[in-house]
Amino acid sequence: MTSDALRVTRIAHFSDVHVLSLKGARPSDFLGKRATGAVNLALNRARHYRVEVFEALLESLSAAAPDHTVCTGDLVNLALDAEFARVESLLSRRFADDALTVVPGNHDFYARDAAESRRFERSFGRWMPSFEAAATYPVLRRFRGISLVGLSTATPSAPFLATGTVGRAQCSSAARALAQATAEGDFKLVALHHPIRPDASRPLDHLRRLTDAAEVVDVLREGRADLVVHGHNHVYLRQTLPGGDTPVVQVASGSRFATGHMAEFNVYVIADGALSAIERYVYSPERHTFERGAIEHLGGASPGRLM
């Protein structure tokens, strides 16, 4: 084997931190969907999703020392200007432009004004290298023999809906990005916010689904993706791509503070061109840090320091 084949790369993944800031918000900002979001915030999210836990996650990421970090969206809560400013400040203190890749989630496009003003792209564009000049998405990041293809599933939706859509144009572009990565011999990591498989444990999953999941699955299968990662449902889950054995990994929320559902982030260990292990880091309220817990070993080479 060559030295490149033996290279071990560790990629951190967090999602769904839902940072809240009402600074400078006006009553007119809470018309439409934000009105229902504010009720949910008062009853649930403000207690269970905490910015101080997200700050602890960022500190713990530094200690875990990954080679790269990916965030699969829902960085903010109501898509207000102050929320984007707060998250941008937190991220810019810790990540160089080439150290982080982000894609948006449905809360980042929570209201139509946020999507139309491109608040997400204006705030986090430095961490979103576009694959093709004519479009922002998909993003493409190449490093250490890995092509990271990031899809946007974010689209404004009606109250009580949290659906997402990739769209035909982005699917076509993603297919080209995956074909290019295959030609380069890269490991192909695809990141998006919404799950690509339904969750039978969620009776109202159709209200939160990826509307064109079947088309996206076809692109990923034909493009021979090696690993697919996403967020959205706030709990850890490992599945496989329909019709194949490509790992599909859902990371838990990165800021959740609730008994039995503490915040987490993952680290994916890629060795010898395959996903070798998944390290799960779980928030400890007593120590106010994220501690490495379960390590799932998969097929492929296993780096000795994890055994």
Position 2 confidence tier, pLDDT thresholds 50, 70, 90: very low
Pairing between β-strand 146-150 and β-strand 274-284 as defined by DSSP bridges: unpaired
Residue 275's SS3 state is strand
**Structural domains counted in the chain:** 1
- Does the residue 3 lie in any domain? no
- Does the residue 213 lie in any domain? yes
- Does the residue 190 lie in any domain? yes
Residue 140 exposed, middle or buried by CB count within 10 Å (0-12, 13-18, 19+): buried
- Does the residue 307 lie in any domain? no
Q: What pLDDT sits at residue 304?
A: 37
CB 209 within 8 A of CB 194: yes
Distances (CA, A) of 252 to 17, 49, 263: 10, 12, 6
Task: Render pLDDT for 47-92 as a digit per residue (tens, 0 to 9).
Answer: 689 999 999 999 999 999 999 999 999 999 999 999 999 999 999 9
Structural domain of residue 116, as residue ranges? Answer: 8-20+28-300
- Does the residue 152 lie in any domain? yes
Q: What is the CATH number of the domain that holds 246?
A: 3.60.21.10
The whole-model pTM stands at 0.91
Task: Render pLDDT for 180-223 as a digit per residue (tens, 0 to 9).
Answer: 999 999 999 999 999 999 877 777 788 889 999 999 999 999 99
Q: What pLDDT sits at residue 203?
A: 73
Distance CA 186, CA 178 (A): 9
- Does the residue 306 lie in any domain? no
Q: What pLDDT sits at residue 158?
A: 81
Whether residue 28 is predicted with pLDDT greater than 70 in this model: the reply is no
- Does the residue 305 lie in any domain? no
Task: Render pLDDT for 134-166 as a digit per residue (tens, 0 to 9).
Answer: 999 999 999 999 999 999 999 988 888 889 999
Query: Residue 281: beta bridge partners?
Result: 265, 292
Q: What pLDDT sits at residue 32?
A: 61
- Does the residue 83 lie in any domain? yes
